[in-house]
Structure formats: C-alpha cells, structure tokens
Amino acid sequence: MQAQDYRLSLMHHRLEKEIGREQARTAPDRWRLIRLKKLKLAIKDRLHRLTQHSGGAPA
C-alpha cells in the first residue's frame, strides 16, 4: 500500500469513528455530521480513484 493510500485510509477510519461519536451524543450536531460524512465520502472516492488508476484491487 502506498503512503498516500495509507494516509487516506487512516483519515477515513478516523472520520468513521468521529461520526459514530457524534451520533452517540445526546443532541448530535446535524451540520457537523453532514460535513464529516461529506468529507468521508470524498476520501472514499479519492481512494477508489487511486486504486483504479494504479490498477490494484483494494486491500
């Protein structure tokens, strides 16, 4: 796995955890959740493009 792939995967995992923490709050911040989810999706899309471009299958 390339360094960029690793960093993006790490960021994706951290965002997943942060989204879970926000959703578990008594009164989750809707707008924060939207921003976190959009960022997570953008990272996922970037990872997908990188794996397609390099010809490798996701690990």
pTM over 0.75: yes
pLDDT at 23: 97
Share of the chain above pLDDT 90, in %: 73
Q: Within a 10 A sphere around the Cβ of 16, how many other Cβ atoms?
A: 13
Give the residue among 59, 20, 16 at the shortest CA–CA distance from 40: 16
The band of 56, judged by pLDDT with boundaries at 50, 70 and 90, is low
- Listed in sequence order, the residues at least 6 apart from 37 whose beta carbon sits closer than 8 Å to its beta carbon are 19
Tokens of 7: 């960093």
Q: Express each pLDDT in 3-44 by its tens digit.
A: 888 999 999 999 999 999 999 999 999 999 999 999 999 999
Please state, in angstroms and rounded to a whole number, the distance separating the CA atoms of residues 36 and 59. Answer: 24
